[in-house]
Amino acid sequence: MIYCVFGLGNIGLLTSFFLRKENLFAISRRASGCREARMRIYFPSSGEESFSLNICGLEASIRCDVAIFSSKAYEVKDYIMGFKGKFDEAYCLQNGYGVWDEVKPYSTLNKAFPAPVTYGVRTRNGETVVTGEGVYYLGGFRGEEPVHLDSLAKALINGGARVQVVNDVEPYVWQKLLVNSVTNPLTAVLRVPNGYLLKNKYLWKIAEEVIREVTDVARLEGITFPEDPVIFVKRVLEATSSNYSSMLQDVMRGRKTEIEYINGFIIRKASEHGVNVPFNLILYYLVKSLENIMSEAA
């Protein structure tokens, strides 16, 4: 079984570490040719871990059984153009909703699945640091079943990952989307760690409204959350109180965000159902304004 991880950001590096014992290639837009590199990642429980990784550029002649897309959602198109027909099925780890639909036509089996990841990872002083333990959720989606799910789950577990295999992964995709819709834009706009949303009563009022809007849209989509939405969001914020959200990290680096796939998706779905989501809309506009400011300053 050959695995390819597309994108070597924080989650890509974490996933590569968990798959380090397998036949693995990491595909990077910044690489040229193929080379073996020594990578490092820091875990709070075990300290620094070092491992070897084969890193290849987009032009590499590699065929994968399983493609794992861990890049930013808007970067996926840059990777798949050169890999059409070079992987059986794909798993998409991105924040937000829908990128798997972009990937699916490029796989030989016409299969691509969301695989929400709840690990907290950030770059600190140039090092990749795991800031919170999490889970890889793997499973079927919209009535389709993965071919290589068992192999991938076993490989991740063998490398030390926590994996939960479920019959239907979509409720867990929405659960992560819910947390991201609240946490990412608020922390990015205010430049505060996750836990601040619980400490500030005014911010929590906004968070509650976003939760209500996302929950309403999810219900119209026929989604039942695995846990009570408010309780779940509170627990995540408490567990990741010192974390910087991925969107805040993007803003701090002057990078484009994934807002289109998070609150932007909620807004589009709400429009389809004829309902208003004003708090999501305001957060969307604020983050897009930040992107414009960063673009003008570049």
Q: What is the pLDDT of residue 65?
A: 96
d(CA 211, CA 227): 13
| 21 lies in the same domain as 140 | yes
184 with 140, same domain: the answer is no
The whole-number average pLDDT for the span 213-242 is 95
Cα separation, 273 vs 276, in Å, equals: 9
Q: Cα(182)–Cα(234) distance, rounded to whole angstroms?
A: 11
Q: What CATH number is given to the structural domain containing 131?
A: 3.40.50.720
Select the more confidently predicted residue: 284 or 44: 284
42-87 pLDDT, tens per residue? 998 889 999 999 999 988 889 999 999 999 999 998 888 888 889 9
Same domain, 93 and 120: yes
Q: CB within 8 A of 281, min separation 6: which ones?
A: 263, 267
Residue ranges making up the domain that contains 185? 171-297
45: left (phi over 0), alpha (psi -120 to 50) or beta: alpha
Average pLDDT for residues 251-267, to the nearest whole number? 95
Tokens of 25: 């290639």
pLDDT in tens, 143-201: 999 999 999 999 999 999 999 999 999 999 999 999 999 999 999 999 999 999 999 99
> Does an H or E element contain 17, and which?
helix 10-18
Placement of tokens 């995709």 in the chain: 173
Do 266 and 213 form a contact (C-beta atoms < 8 A)?
yes
**One domain, residues 104 and 139:** yes
Question: Six-digit token pair at 99?
Answer: 């990128």
Residues 231 and 142 in one domain: no
The domain boundary, picked from 139, 167, 195, lies at: 167
3-state SS class at 255: coil
The 10s digit of each residue's pLDDT in 106-134 is: 999 999 999 999 998 888 777 899 988 89
Contact 236, 174 (CB under 8 A): no
Per-residue pLDDT band at 298 (split at 50, 70, 90): low
For residues 198 and 163, membership in a common domain is answered with no
Categorize the per-residue pLDDT at 207 as very low, low, confident or very high, splitting at 50, 70 and 90: very high
Which domain-ending residue is among 141, 167, 193? 167
- How far apart, in whole angstroms, are the C-alpha atoms of residue 6 and residue 80? 9
- Residue ending a domain, among 167, 195, 213, is 167
Same domain, residue pair 90 and 29: yes
Q: Is the separation of the CB atoms in 93 and 18 below 8 Å? A: no
Percent pLDDT > 90 in the chain is: 84
**Coil, helix or strand at residue 118:** coil
